[in-house]
Amino acid sequence: MTALPRALPLLGHAPWFALKPLDFLTSLAGHGDLVRIRLGPLRAYVVCHPTLVHQLLLADRTFDKGGPFYDKLREIAGNGVGTCPASAHRRQRRLVQPAFHRDRMPGHTQVMAEEVAALTAPWQNGQTLHVPDAMHRLSTAVVVRCLFDPSTDTSGIPALQSSIDAIVDGITRRMTWPMPLLHRLPTPGNRRYQRARLHVRHLTNALISGLRSTGADHDNLMSLLMAPDADGVFLSDTEVHDQVVTFLLAGVQSIAITLSWAWYLIGTHPDIRTRLHDEVDAVLGGRPAQLTDLDSLDLTGRIVTETLRLYPPDSLLLTRTTATDTELGGHPLPAGTTLVFSPYQLHRRPDAYPAPDRFAPERWNAVDKPAPGTFVPFGAGPRKCIADTFVQTQATLALATVAARWQLRPIPGQPLRPVGQAVRAPHKLSMMLNQRSSTSDREVDV
């Protein structure tokens, strides 16, 4: 176990972590399997070895959710299924899991198809598209309509979208700069964060009181939250609120980030773009993708998987705290120790992935099951993302449906450069839209 050099007085490693968190976390692998860092007053261990991360994820009662990072998340998501301790988790997970059951997928896919159609309807040949904005709009509408209310008036989506952005920014700042005083100052960022929290609370309360008065009968997450649990007990408004916020924060940005990076990668790899269009032409012939197409959209699915490897959206906020005195990899850890791990760092290990920075969807052709801890965009074990299949399915179908009719290309004279880190969408990603004339690979000339 090695301590990282260059901890500054008072600040420790916080400046490096705050400025380039993923580069910082990735650099730690060279210092050992379990590396001690200091962020201001907070001491933590970064778990760099896949086997140790796997052990940590499976033992959810020993390596529990909690500690200073989760205190920040709980300010907004309370004790929802993603933030609650292991002692409360089984009951919550049982309650919400059916919303992602296989038999709900056709309904979710129908919503995705409608939202892709609504998104692309106004697109014009030759138009410049700000890809992250478009993907964010799509994922917000899909998550809200699939999980909360299929009849949602989508005109409120942009405001919700910007509130979720402000909350995620605020939480990320609070986690990467764990210095409470800074976050009480009336800075524009702190004020935006507080306004966004109020906005989401207001929307959630309106949704809950509306459903309490009319009854929730949409056969979705919201209906599950409003129904009695296995013991006949109803959730309180606060508990429902915590779950709604959890799903909004966990779901909306992550799909948008994945789709945005996928378009970036497709745009910068013309050979793969051509093969993608060949595949969707052969399978879809210009129509929207359906659930039954999934198995035939082989390359499209691998593009999503490879995007999740290179740019896993939830790479920063993954932490645990030891519930008892324990050990990891032979290193003793007293109760209350904070542990951090990063899928981004694990996914770019050359011992797990040859040429790890290369976008190579074909590397998944031969892979049956990645080695434990080497591919964890959705985590693993009891706290694994509840929506992993939902994400892989919806992202694959959305890419295929768009690619059947449109080609997203770099704007001539403006090479695409990845701006941003994996946890965020590449925020300056604008691309040119080419309408595809038929199911052939020809595009309409601009």
Q: Give residues in contact with ligand HEM (CB under 6 A).
A: 81-82, 93, 143, 147, 246-247, 250-251, 254-255, 258, 312-314, 318, 377-379, 383, 385-387, 390-391
Query: Rounded CA gap, 58 and 197, in Å?
Result: 33
Indicate left, alpha or beta for 288 from its phi (over 0: left) and psi (-120 to 50: alpha): beta
**Could you count the other beta carbons within 10 Å of the beta carbon of residue 30?**
10
| Minimum gap (Å) between residue 294 Cβ and ligand HEM | 17
Distances (CA, A) of 198 to 193, 246, 305: 9, 15, 36
Q: Is 328 helix (H, G, I), strand (E, B) or coil?
A: strand
Beta carbons of 422 and 313 less than 8 angstroms apart: yes
| Minimum gap (Å) between residue 139 Cβ and ligand HEM | 8
Query: What residue number has its CB nearest to ligand HEM?
Result: 251
| Minimum gap (Å) between residue 69 Cβ and ligand HEM | 10
Query: For residues 284 and 391, which CB has a smaller minimum distance to ligand HEM in the complex?
Result: 391
Mark out the alpha helices in 20-104 (DSSP H runs): 21-27, 50-58, 68-77, 86-96
| Minimum gap (Å) between residue 383 Cβ and ligand HEM | 4
| Minimum gap (Å) between residue 381 Cβ and ligand HEM | 8
Query: For residues 48 and 432, which CB has a smaller minimum distance to ligand HEM in the complex?
Result: 48
Residue 437 parent element (H or E): none
Beta carbons of 235 and 103 less than 8 angstroms apart: no
**Could you count the other beta carbons within 10 Å of the beta carbon of residue 234?**
13
| Minimum gap (Å) between residue 391 Cβ and ligand HEM | 4
Strand partners, 44: 37, 338
| Minimum gap (Å) between residue 445 Cβ and ligand HEM | 35
Closest by CA position to 342, among listed 49, 63, 89: 49
Query: For residues 4 and 422, which CB has a smaller minimum distance to ligand HEM in the complex?
Result: 422
